[in-house]
Structure 1
């Protein structure tokens, strides 16, 4: 911020409209002046109120004890934009109210009067701030010709130049088959100005929408490419716009997955923990809530690591593995560890004490954790093994809060498939504020986890309740789901099964009739698959 004197940003230099010989206040004794020109005042003898204002808005006492006529409250110090607390402009209008007849004024951006320079006093001026989307304090101090200096007066105003935030929570992540309904859920919010208006357009058609959470359903869609555009303005005039596009098709593509199955029972398990402030209640007992997880995966060749939903923290976020509790330099638990040690270490590591970013992005965190493992980055090195299956467990009270490619459920599944040549079965489990669970959403659940629900359904994962007081049953279900991953083949897209299309499985060139069922994109068999080379033929919507 440039100060008012050096940068010439005080304008409208008006002459002072009145002068008082003693500065308009009580006479100040010479021996009360400090060397730095600050003023120390003693109370008047007699114990009464001197009539001077020591705090903004205070009034003098009545020496006679009778009623005092109501008078307008005197202004003192400075005022920004006539007392407004919010503005959409970085150009701030300042009005000055010195407690005495001032010769000079010093204005600083900040609340300590530390950065400004003394300039000739004027009644008003402007300040061009370089700060936006935050509360901006401005302070002023006054001095007369005799060197008397006032206190430092501070006022602040929030400069808001960001449009409303538009987040798409639920939308088609893959082509939709013709004739099906399409549901899109999105939220429009703005802090601190508030949302003034929201408009939605679907092609050339307008759709009703408003601030807050919106759910729009498009019934029985015909084939084609579609886009929903959401535009919003806040109450100080800032605008924003976002759109989501999807495709409706009745065409099918033929797919084949070639998978080599070994008799190993290897699985890598990634916990993604919401460490934001809204999770404080759940975090208090996180260790006890997940205490039985290792009991259910006993006997498997497992590796377990932990990361957080924080997308930006330089040591605990952006998919970096969290250092294990009480184990400096170690980031990965293994099944070769002592059971008691492993259980205590996992519980202590999952219970986070820090307060992470409020922009929770669990899908992104899992995506980045895998990327870091593939590039052998830091503590993530060697976490994802080539010949193991993969399970992700997210525990969060809020949905994925961004819309980038790495936040998308379908993109995450494709990334895993492409990175490991379709050889790795994977499942994504979510302990969340489940959509429609009003008791949780009115309690400790911050917002419904639409995308976590979507990715769990996509991969046959468990969907649990983050508001539950004990996660024991849910954790057991997730651990059993991890075991189920070892009996699964993850397909590249959702297969279509009807009178003309089916799923064909060959083992070493022969039809394999093992009992199975589809759970999302996972073809799950009742029994462990015998070692061999498998081919899975199926059809998907293009």
Structure 2
């Protein structure tokens, strides 16, 4: 069996247990010649969890099509308490937002928050920790939206996210090393029906069936996040949608508006890919959904992305020299059952599948 001792091979993101805040590992890039996993390769790795920052950068993606106003108001009502809980946990957050429709034929432009008075030099689209009257800001912003405006029938939450990441060099919404969390709300799928002719309903607008493009694919959104922010980016995509298979919720949404709803299949896919949360748009309140998302933000910082998928039963871990078994493996993601604090030494060994 071929043996490699690859120091700093893994990309690790940890949250400190004492503060429920983010702690990021220092790492060295994987050498190009070792970038691809080799079946049967044995990997060993040692690292000490270093102190990192406590930053989380949010992108809120609002579906502003005809049927969405009641649900957007529901989300706005819960966002103030959600952000207040982040502040009380010591997390340094900031937040931008965009819509699922195109602005000047481009998806992913940041929109200004309404009723927000930022500090000098801070743009009105960048909401930052410490802002006052957060509840009013979220509610004013939703109230001021042009719901059902031109182009809003072509909902593209994934493309908007993709482009927002691509524009990150100019929008100032993302800080180096910060955790990244997207919260999307929509009662339809990407491009309404996810490019699936079987999902088109009789009362869908003419032209609702539009082919998906590369930027509409969940895998490509994740690839763009890694391209712009690094392979070790701590990224969760959280969605409030008509959950796939929830026909009761879909019927409720259809009855509430002349515009039909659709299952959020592609949005759920990206949430699953990033270990994000999925909430139902039919819930009477989004408070529980937002609390779940908050926990996902923390939990996403308690895992390692491994170079390869480990062979079953080969993962061996020591924490500060003692055998450690409180972990799980899903694909090439190694998850700890509880956060690890700064100064913890991790020794890891496994075989590539």
* Aligned equivalent of 2:276, options 458, 461, 473: 461
Residue 275 of structure 2 aligns to a residue whose secondary structure is coil
Is 1:424 the counterpart of 2:233 in the alignment? yes
Counterpart CA distance in 1 for 2:96 and 2:218 is 21
Is 1:397 the counterpart of 2:187 in the alignment? yes
Change (3 A) 1:296 1:330: same
CA contact (8 A) 2:73 2:139 kept: no
Count of residues paired in the alignment: 278
Counterpart CA distance in 1 for 2:138 and 2:319 is 38
Residue 292 of structure 1 aligns to a residue whose secondary structure is helix
Is 1:363 the counterpart of 2:158 in the alignment? yes
Which residue is equivalent to 1:332? 126
Residue 67 of structure 2 aligns to a residue whose secondary structure is helix
- Cα deviation, 1:273-306, whole Å, max 9, x if unaligned, reads 1111132332344422434211331220111111
Which residue is equivalent to 1:79? none
Change (3 A) 1:280 1:344: closer
- Cα deviation, 1:508-539, whole Å, max 9, x if unaligned, reads 9x899484335687544311442689897777
CA RMSD, aligned part only? 3.5
* Aligned equivalent of 2:176, options 361, 386, 393: 386
Which residue is equivalent to 1:163? none
Change (3 A) 1:294 1:284: closer
Per the TM alignment, residue 414 of structure 1 is displaced from its structure 2 partner at its CA by 2.2
Q: After the TM superposition, which residues 247-396 of structure 1 pair with which residues of structure 2 at under 5 Å, given as runs? A: 262-298=51-87, 299-310=90-101, 312-314=102-104, 318-327=107-116, 329-338=123-132, 341-350=133-142, 353-354=145-146, 355-356=148-149, 357-373=152-168, 375-376=169-170, 380=171, 382-396=172-186
CA contact (8 A) 1:289 1:469 kept: no
- Cα deviation, 1:354-390, whole Å, max 9, x if unaligned, reads 12421111111111111111x21xxx2x211112111
CA contact (8 A) 2:218 2:270 kept: yes
Residue 167 of structure 2 aligns to a residue whose secondary structure is helix
- Cα deviation, 1:44-86, whole Å, max 9, x if unaligned, reads xxxxxxxxxxxxxxxxxxxxxxxxxxxxxxxxxxxxxxxxxxx
Is 1:443 the counterpart of 2:252 in the alignment? yes
Counterpart CA distance in 1 for 2:167 and 2:283 is 33
* Aligned equivalent of 1:516, options 314, 324, 327: 327
The structure in which a higher percent of residues are strand is 1
Tell me which of the two structures has the higher relative contact order, counting C-alpha pairs closer than 8 angstroms and 6 or more residues apart: 2
Counterpart CA distance in 1 for 2:139 and 2:305 is 30
CA contact (8 A) 2:114 2:144 kept: no
Per the TM alignment, residue 322 of structure 1 is displaced from its structure 2 partner at its CA by 1.1
Change (3 A) 1:515 1:486: same
* Aligned equivalent of 1:476, options 282, 291, 309: 291
Change (3 A) 1:458 1:288: same
CA contact (8 A) 1:426 1:459 kept: yes
- Cα deviation, 1:388-431, whole Å, max 9, x if unaligned, reads 11111111101112522221112222222233332211111110
CA contact (8 A) 2:240 2:279 kept: yes
Counterpart CA distance in 1 for 2:143 and 2:335 is 32
Counterpart CA distance in 1 for 2:267 and 2:53 is 29
Which residue is equivalent to 1:208? none
Which residue is equivalent to 2:200? none
Which residue is equivalent to 1:242? none
Which residue is equivalent to 1:248? none
Counterpart CA distance in 2 for 1:255 and 1:307 is 44
CA contact (8 A) 1:261 1:533 kept: no
Structure 1 unmatched ranges of 5 or more: 1-250
Counterpart CA distance in 1 for 2:251 and 2:281 is 13
Residue 180 of structure 2 aligns to a residue whose secondary structure is strand
Is 1:530 the counterpart of 2:342 in the alignment? yes
Per the TM alignment, residue 475 of structure 1 is displaced from its structure 2 partner at its CA by 1.1
* Aligned equivalent of 1:498, options 299, 302, 312: 312
CA contact (8 A) 1:254 1:537 kept: no
Which residue is equivalent to 2:196? none
CA contact (8 A) 2:239 2:279 kept: yes
Per the TM alignment, residue 492 of structure 1 is displaced from its structure 2 partner at its CA by 7.2
Q: Could you say which structure has the larger radius of gyration?
A: 1
